[in-house]
Chains A and B, each alone.
Chain A
Amino acid sequence: MKKLFSFSIALFAFFFIASSSAKTIELLNVSYDPTREFYADLNPAFAAHWKAQTGDIVVIKQSHGGSGKQARGVIDGLQADVVTLALAADIDALYDVAQLIPGDWQQRLPHNASPYTSTIVFLVRKGNPKAIKDWGDLVKPGVSVITPNPKTSGGARWNYLAAWAYARRRAGNEAGAQKFVANLFKNVPVLDSGARGSTTTFAQRGIGDVLLTWENEAHLAQKEFLTEGYEIVVPALSILAEPPVCLVDKNVKKKGTQAVAQAYLEYLFSDEAQRIAVRHFYRPSSPAIALKYAQHFPQLELVTIDTEFDGWTQAQKTHFADGGVFDQIYAR
């Protein structure tokens, strides 16, 4: 037992020495779930770019998880150099709760600090057997809709708000919108805790006629489950999902990585990075690149969270806080 114990202490010590003696620059990018494939592609491109510019080797470590959980991690001391999360509200929390960043963080980079955007679309089964064309079809009896739980998933909040925006246009008032969204959630048989969980429920478990998800996730699912022949249906109106990025000022100052972390974020807006984003079905924020790849991204009316819901703070409070509209939908 004694031997075992000293062995484990030795292992422990080894681990610490090993992790502290690295000579290359290390960056930690704390991100949300659906960006894994994108950053797996982008990080080597940036490393090459940085090496060409400065001669330094930069290694970018990735951490992925639910957007809110990741933000909490950074608040509680996860040493992220940059955060690339699903919605501005989660980055706002870094300022509100822990003052890790300045309050005007979203103005420091172009395009609301969102290098890529996406929107909410529908993924349906082969041949679209329930003939789902737009939001209105989702509340029909017998249509089963898969979305994650808005209380635990950032992506699900976008789904919910997109449906709300559509319904408010249709009904002309908030009450009508609430009724529509309530009916929509009556057709939801399972609320997974995260976006990828929902995709699995739809694809692996064969549950539901339509999956509400990000455009990039829909394309990825189509590719991953190629044999299933899923089809993407783009509604006439949806929401512009802006997943923003931000430098974590307090951490980079302490780690001395400000320059490279800043360059990393700026690189996200470069043409090369924008093309990588397109490859992963994110809508590029650069107008030139967007124009060039316009045929990849169907045109639709996109509303924004700021004009439609007075920003995330307000939307969160009205809809998703405890006792908010979403809770009322399920209260009996």
Chain B
Amino acid sequence: MEFGTSGMLNEDGIHVDMDRLKKGEVNLGTSIMAINFKDGVILGADSRTTTGAYIANRVTDKLTQVHDTIWCCRSGSAADTQAVADMVHQNLGMYGIMNGRPPTTQTAAALFQELCYENKDRLSAGLIIAGWDERHGGQVYSIPLGGSLHKQSYAIGGSGSTYIYGYCDANWKEGMDEEAAVNFVKGALQEAIKWDGSSGGVIRMVVLTKKGANRHLYLPDTQYAVRHE
């Protein structure tokens, strides 16, 4: 399947991440991110799933748990990324049982990468892996389309991310406290939702620390101002 590598929007305003979709395939035309902060990591995502210009799901959960404190953000084909996440989920579960210790974020990233790399010509999956463990603290890995693996202090992905490279670069600070970190993620995703037609709906977050996983939800009708309980 042909697809451009220009990183530009093509004539129908669809980002390259979508060019690889099969006809009628459901796309997570998405804004996703994960960041490191003082006590761990935060994952964030919008909630829009589209088929072309139609919103197939307006309250999607793109934050997927693959182990107790290892999660991932999914972008690209919903089917592909769900299949990959399910396989890693199963594998990590086995790892924890067989080795008597929880897998590390590295383990998860390695498994994700192998699947994405070895099946690169069949998949359209842009993933961000974020996890917390006692030894390594919070870690963020990005696996873009070709299946390369990048360790980052924060990662952004999906079609909406192209609009927020500037925002994130300008506002990023290492070692933020939880409140500042949540606001950073929220601010970035708000901009992405604002400018990217393929992103929208609610903002979901997962905060991963030694206390475990903690979900946040922010709604558009309150300008994402208050955390929905």
A joins B in a complex: no
B-binding residues in A (CB < 8 A): none
